[in-house]
Structure 1
Amino acid sequence: MEALLASTFTVAIAEIGDKTQLLALILAARFKNKTAIVLGILLSTLVNHFAAAWLGQWAISWISPDVGRYLVAASFFAIALWVLIPDKVDAEESHFYALGPFLATFILFFIAEMGDKTQIATMVLSAKYDALAMVVLGTTLGMLVANVPVVIAGHFSAEKLPLEWIHRGCAVLFALLGVATLVF
């Protein structure tokens, strides 16, 4: 249960102001079918985060528990610094819009998540908790918690939120996860 809750909370906070949240805003403004957008986010995140969580568990299995603990802690500290750098949406991928709201969302979210801090966090959380299903479920729920409200209320923008404070809080959260990994 700890893996599920930590994964959900961590990714939900990390996602605020992230490029995929800004992408959700763009897709919500572009398409009227909000259900298709949410389903695209859900399935894309499940596939992407499953692969990341599996990779995290596979990688950690090759090293000793002590080295693994230090690597996981160092990764949390690195992500803590990374979240302080705000994301911007790359050039609009308008040629994907012709595929419709579901496929456009699925493809664009999958691509945007590659190497993104929430994907890396999923990998690290999976290595820490050794609970693949709970981490994937939690990180996917976290993505939905952060992105579904943006899709539903597409006229609101992430810029109205105190992003600087949210990013700082998220950095503190990742740093605390790093410390907890070293201590416990």
Structure 2
Amino acid sequence: MEAFLSSTFGVFIAEIGDKTQLLTLFLAARFAQKNAVIAGIFAATLLNHLVSAWLGVWLAASVSPVLVKWIVGLSFIAVGLWLLKPDKDDDGDNGRWLKYGAFAATLVLFFLAEIGDKTQIATVLLAARYNDLAWVVSGSVLGLMLANVPVAYLGEKIMAKVPAAAVRRAACLLFCLLGILTLAGGGIGLS
């Protein structure tokens, strides 16, 4: 249950103000079918985070626990510091995907936007930390959905009231704390 709750909260807080949340805002403004946008986000996130968590579990099983402890602990701290840096509005060439409709466009654009994103890296690290694919994927997908579904429906009203800098600082603190706790522990999977 700790893996689920940590993944839910960690990914939720990391997603606030992230480029994929801005992508959700863009897609929700572009398409009237909000449920199709949300379904596309869910499918893209599930696929992306399943692969990410699998990589984390593989890492935990394949590398010595002491080395994984140091890699994961220092990486959590690095992600925490990275979270302090605001994302750029990284639209790229989204226009060519919009012709495929709300679900397909969201699925492709969101999946691509998640590659190398903070929440994807956090999912790898959480899976390596807890060595629990199902709970980490469930929690990370839930956290991302909790951060994005309200944006799809309420969009600009929410984004105007959320102090992004304060959220980034809180996310930094959370991930640095996870890093310190990981480094202070006995290694991945050890009590």
How far residue 157 of structure 1 moved from its aligned partner, in angstroms, is: 5.2
Structure 2 CA distance, aligned partners of 1:88 and 1:152? 23
Match of 1:104 in 2: 105
The runs of at least 4 aligned residues of structure 1 exceeding 4 Å deviation read none
- Please name the residue that 2:138 is paired with: 137
Q: Cα deviation per residue 1:99-126 (whole Å; 9 max; x = unaligned)?
A: 0000000000000000001000000000
Tell whether the 8 Å contact from 2:41 to 2:110 is kept in structure 1 after alignment: yes
Q: What's the offset of the Cα at 1:183? A: 2.0
Shift of 1:87: 0.9
Query: Comparing 54-63 with 25-34, which one deviates more in the overlay?
Result: 54-63
2:60–2:131: 8 Å Cα contact kept in structure 1?
Answer: no
Matching residue of 1:95 = 96
Secondary structure in structure 2 of the residue aligned to 1:66? helix
Deviation at 1:140, TM superposition (A): 0.2
CA distance in 2, matches of 1:161, 1:92: 27
1:1-184 → structure 2 map (5 Å cutoff)? 1-90=1-90, 91-156=92-157, 158-184=159-185
Long gaps (5+) in structure 2? 186-191
Identity of aligned residues (%): 51
1:3-45 per-residue CA deviation (whole Å, 9 max, x = no partner) reads 0000000000000000000000000100010000010000100
One-letter amino acid of the counterpart of residue 5, structure 1 = L
2:2 partner amino acid: E
The more displaced of 104-113 and 159-168 is: 159-168
Secondary structure (helix, strand or coil) at the match of 1:99 reads coil
Rounded Cα–Cα distance in structure 1 between residues aligned with 2:159 and 2:82? 19
State the 1:161 CA deviation.
Answer: 1.4
Quick one: distance in 2 between partners of 1:158 and 1:18? 11
SS in 1 for 2:157: coil
Question: 1:2: how far off?
Answer: 0.4
For each residue in 1:124-167, what CA deviation from the matched residue of structure 2 results, as whole angstroms up to 9, or x when unmatched?
Answer: 00000011010000000001000000001134252431111110
Count matched residues: 184
TM-score by length of 1: 0.97
| Unpaired runs of at least 5, structure 1 | none
Q: Are the aligned partners of 2:4 and 2:136 in contact in 1 as well (CA < 8 Å)?
A: yes
* Residues 59-111 of structure 1: CA deviation (Å, up to 9, x unaligned): 23221111111111011001011101111232351111100000000000000
- Name the Cα RMSD after superposition: 1.1
